[in-house]
């Protein structure tokens, strides 16, 4: 038998490595921007054509490269940042693995123009499929320009897996925001198809946050800054009113590297506890600086997931710093320690607690009940006289009224429901409870329906049908609304415009980052279009972290959640009946698309057991 194991050719090995590093145009954006930062640039331009598929170019005014370095940079594992293994644990730069340029050159046509300040001429190199096609001296400005053309031209199967231009552009904008946010002292610009999307002048971190996330944050940011020997933390958190119902503007940077960490997200959320709703997410842009030896940044190919040597210390420190910032800026509730003078005059304060009073209190059965072990839940029936005032509080003044159904609160509704021999859909009155639940009768008991969950299920199936070829009718807006978005959200809305049209929305671009809402779904309540779209985008971004959903599925779930009748809204009999009827016409009425229950049924015999019958 001949030997069957052989070494892969370099260009194939590079393409396999590229699969880890360059998954889409945005991956190359991240690597090239980080290299420009490492080169000491003060100005970095990103130029995109066709969402990076045709052209992706980064131009910087950094240190540049010599002719030899420019050629060596495209070899696998070529790096200027690691000379021995211990250097891996002292990394302070962004790029360091020596795989990015080699990976890019393996799956694209690359042109490099670079020049150092001390050199009279620069170097031009053209590489295709890992092979240098051309190398020559050239006149060039100080710094480096790397242009990546025709991504995946030699791997058509990979190119076919790329999403729409709008979707790929959204990923590019995300990476651009993450790098430019971390370096407010560097000028960044992003130009796509000849139109400038971002022009970020050098400035403070707060100015950069407002430039990237929107002017609405200008007066709503609170400074965070704490320093210790172990680590420093600084940045900004949004005031509680900026919290969103979905995970929106949250950025963590460790040694200026953007990271994803559910652990640290939890630390920040804990600091906001009881200040924002439990289903809301705070806004923050936080930087942690600590000794690189305390962090392992090699746990993931994209370097966005890291591991701390002591996670508990970092968690506690982050939470403490955020709490301190909130308290310092008088956002957290404060206690008034000035004692009301009248309190001092009360007997309980001014008079001593005598031995006789102490003995009398400790001999009571109520005292014993709460001081004996495992007895806190027990009340001695023989000693109920001590509790008679509490019992009387709950007992009706006229005992006969308990036996009379017509005088009991809600009894008329329940007697009517209880006598109905038909199912919930029978022609009968429903009861709304706490402006959240619909109570109805069944032949065998009663049913409690959560109004928002029920409406979510109804809308989900309606939108699903629309996306499958039964478009929802659009009603034209008498007074079209203008929608102003951040650049990132504008790119996202452009990506969703075709699907939204199928679902009844007619939204047209109207200049940079601005749209006009010309029409909405026929059953949509007019006057709330702008807020509905903003919430929809936030909800969509929340679902985006879940890879198992398609874009269509994420959009449908987002719309169903945002357009559903919320808890707290009073419903008429007509509205309740229509909702229940629509619910039980659904293919799957018992759960929302997220798996939450829509209704619960309580059997008649279970009700009787509750009342000892």
Give the mean model confidence (pLDDT) for residues 49-62. 95
CA proximity to 61, closest of 94, 35, 93, 36: 36
**No. of H helices and E strands in the chain?**
21, 22
Q: How many Cβ atoms sit within 10 Å of the Cβ of residue 206?
A: 16
**Where is pLDDT greater, at 183 or 487?**
183
Per-domain residue ranges of the chain: 10-200, 205-328, 423-613
517 forms beta bridges with 481, 507
**Where is pLDDT greater, at 383 or 488?**
488
pLDDT at 607: 86
Give the mean model confidence (pLDDT) for residues 321-327. 92
Choose the most confident range, by mean pLDDT, from 192-201, 239-248, 437-446, 496-505.
192-201
CATH, domain 423-613, list 3.30.1370.100, 3.30.300.20, 3.30.70.100, 3.30.56.10:
3.30.1370.100
Name the region of 542 (left: φ>0; alpha: ψ -120 to 50; beta: rest).
Answer: alpha
**Where is pLDDT greater, at 391 or 548?**
548
* 464: its two tokens: 């699903």
Choose the most confident range, by mean pLDDT, from 215-224, 328-337, 347-356.
215-224
Alpha-carbon span 432 to 445, nearest angstrom = 17
Alpha-carbon span 508 to 497, nearest angstrom = 8
Compute the CA torsion angle 175, 177, 181, 185 (nearest 10 deg).
Answer: 100
Does the pLDDT at position 304 exceed 50? yes
Placement of tokens 């340029």 in the chain = 101
432 forms beta bridges with 438
Q: Which of 76-90, 134-148, 225-239, 415-429 has the lowest mean pLDDT?
A: 415-429
CA proximity to 284, closest of 341, 226, 313, 242: 242
Does the pLDDT at position 80 exceed 80? no
Does the pLDDT at position 375 exceed 70? no
pLDDT at 528: 78
Confidence of residue 42 (pLDDT cuts 50, 70, 90): very high
Alpha-carbon span 167 to 149, nearest angstrom = 19
Spell out the alpha helix ranges (H) of 58-192: 67-72, 100-107, 156-160, 165-182
Give the mean model confidence (pLDDT) for residues 149-171. 86
pLDDT at 544: 65
Give the mean model confidence (pLDDT) for residues 317-336. 76
Confidence of residue 292 (pLDDT cuts 50, 70, 90): confident
DSSP conformation letters of 560-593 = HHHHSPPTT----HHHHHHHHHHHTTSSSTTB-T
**Where is pLDDT greater, at 576 or 291?**
576
Choose the most confident range, by mean pLDDT, from 21-35, 241-255, 386-400.
21-35
Does the pLDDT at position 7 exceed 70? yes
CA proximity to 75, closest of 96, 38, 105: 105
Confidence of residue 392 (pLDDT cuts 50, 70, 90): very low
Spell out the alpha helix ranges (H) of 279-434: 311-328, 347-350, 355-362, 365-371, 388-394, 400-403, 411-419
Give the mean model confidence (pLDDT) for residues 458-474. 87
Q: What is the pLDDT of residues 494-527, one digit of tens each?
A: 889 888 998 889 999 988 889 999 998 887 777 7
pLDDT at 414: 32
Q: What is the pLDDT of residues 340-357, one digit of tens each?
A: 455 455 555 555 666 666
pLDDT at 135: 94
* 205-328 classified as CATH 3.30.230.10: yes
Does the pLDDT at position 384 exceed 50? no
Helix 451-467 crosses helix 487-502 at what angle (to 10 degrees)? 70
Query: Do 253 and 234 meet the contact criterion of CB atoms below 8 Å apart?
Result: no
pLDDT at 138: 95
Does the pLDDT at position 191 exceed 90? yes
Query: Residue 427, SS3?
Result: coil
* 131: its two tokens: 């092979």
Q: Which of 299-313, 424-438, 482-496 has the lowest mean pLDDT?
A: 299-313
Does the pLDDT at position 358 exceed 60? yes
Find all residues with CB under 8 Å of 47, minimum gap 6, and list them: 55, 56, 57, 58, 59, 191
**Where is pLDDT greater, at 578 or 392?**
578
Give the mean model confidence (pLDDT) for residues 389-403. 44
Does the pLDDT at position 276 exceed 60? yes
pLDDT at 468: 83
Confidence of residue 600 (pLDDT cuts 50, 70, 90): very high
% pLDDT > 70, the chain: 75
Does the pLDDT at position 165 exceed 80? yes
Confidence of residue 93 (pLDDT cuts 50, 70, 90): low
Confidence of residue 25 (pLDDT cuts 50, 70, 90): very high
In what side-by-side order are the strands of the sheet with 431-433? 431-433, 437-442, 445-450, 599-603
Alpha-carbon span 296 to 305, nearest angstrom = 9
Name the region of 273 (left: φ>0; alpha: ψ -120 to 50; beta: rest).
Answer: beta
pLDDT at 297: 63
% pLDDT > 90, the chain: 35
Decide the pairing of beta strands 43-49 and 187-192.
parallel
Radius of gyration over alpha carbons of the chain, in Å?
Answer: 33
Class of domain 10-200: alpha beta
pLDDT at 265: 87
Q: Which of 171-185, 219-233, 288-302, 503-517 has the lowest mean pLDDT?
A: 288-302
Find all residues with CB under 8 Å of 297, minimum gap 6, and list them: 91, 257, 303, 306
pLDDT at 90: 54
**Where is pLDDT greater, at 412 or 326?**
326
Query: Do 521 and 473 meet the contact criterion of CB atoms below 8 Å apart?
Result: yes
């Amino acid at each position: 038998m001949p030997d069957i194991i052989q070494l892969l050719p370099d260009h194939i090995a590079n393409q396999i490595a590229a699969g880890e590093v360059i998954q889409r145009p945005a991956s190359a954006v991240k690597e090239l921007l980080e290299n420009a930062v490492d080169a000491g640039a003060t100005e970095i331009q990103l130029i995109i054509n066709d969402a990076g598929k045709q052209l992706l170019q980064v131009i910087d005014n950094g240190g540049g490269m010599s002719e030899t370095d420019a050629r060596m940079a495209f070899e696998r594992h070529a790096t200027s940042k690691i000379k021995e293994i211990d250097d891996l644990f002292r990394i302070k730069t962004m790029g360091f693995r020596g795989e990015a340029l080699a990976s890019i050159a393996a799956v694209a046509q690359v042109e490099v123009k670079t020049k150092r300040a001390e050199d009279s001429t620069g170097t031009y190199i053209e590489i295709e499929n890992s092979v240098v096609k051309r190398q020559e001296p050239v006149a060039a400005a100080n710094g480096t320009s790397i242009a990546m053309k025709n991504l995946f031209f030699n791997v058509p199967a990979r190119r076919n897996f790329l999403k729409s231009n709008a979707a790929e552009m959204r990923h590019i904008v995300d990476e651009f925001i993450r790098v430019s946010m971390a370096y407010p002292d560097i000028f960044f610009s992003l130009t796509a198809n000849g139109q400038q999307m971002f022009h970020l002048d050098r400035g403070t971190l707060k100015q950069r946050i407002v430039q990237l996330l929107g002017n609405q944050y200008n007066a709503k940011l609170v400074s965070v800054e704490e320093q210790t020997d172990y680590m420093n933390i600084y940045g900004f958190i949004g005031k509680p009113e900026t919290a969103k119902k979905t995970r929106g503007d949250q950025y963590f940077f460790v040694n200026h590297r953007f990271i994803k960490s559910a652990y640290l997200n939890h630390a920040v959320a804990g600091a906001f506890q009881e200040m924002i709703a439990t289903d809301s997410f705070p806004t923050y842009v936080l930087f942690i600086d600590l000794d690189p030896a305390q962090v392992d940044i090699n746990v993931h190919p994209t370097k966005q997931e890291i591991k701390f040597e002591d996670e508990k210390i970092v968690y506690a420190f982050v939470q403490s710093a955020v709490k301190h910032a909130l308290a310092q800026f008088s956002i957290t509730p404060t206690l008034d320690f000035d004692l009301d003078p009248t309190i001092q005059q009360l007997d309980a304060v001014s008079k001593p607690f005598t031995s006789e009073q102490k003995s009398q209190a400790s001999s009571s059965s109520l005292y014993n009940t709460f001081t004996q072990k495992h007895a806190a839940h027990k009340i001695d029936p023989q000693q109920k006289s001590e509790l008679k005032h509490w019992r009387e509080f709950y007992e009706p003044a006229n005992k006969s009224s308990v036996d009379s159904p017509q005088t009991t609160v809600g009894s008329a509704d329940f007697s009517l429901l209880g006598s109905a021999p038909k199912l919930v859909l029978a022609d009968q009155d429903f009861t709304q409870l706490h402006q959240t639940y619909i109570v109805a009768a069944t032949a065998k008991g009663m049913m409690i329906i959560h109004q928002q969950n029920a409406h979510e299920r109804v809308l989900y199936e309606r939108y699903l049908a629309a996306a499958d070829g039964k478009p929802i009718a659009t009603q034209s807006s008498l007074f079209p609304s203008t929608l102003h978005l951040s650049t990132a959200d504008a790119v996202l809305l452009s990506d969703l415009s075709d699907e939204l049209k199928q679902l009844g929305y007619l939204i047209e671009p109207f200049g940079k980052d601005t749209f006009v809402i010309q029409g909405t779904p026929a059953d949509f309540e007019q006057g709330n279009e702008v807020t509905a779209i903003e919430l929809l985008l936030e909800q969509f971004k929340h679902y985006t972290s879940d890879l198992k959903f398609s874009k269509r599925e994420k959009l449908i779930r987002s719309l169903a959640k945002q357009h559903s009748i919320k808890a707290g809204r009073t419903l008429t009999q007509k509205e309740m009946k229509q909702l229940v009827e629509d619910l039980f016409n659904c293919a799957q009425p018992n759960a929302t698309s997220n798996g939450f229950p829509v209704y619960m049924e309580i059997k008649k015999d279970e009700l009787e057991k509750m009342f000892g019958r």
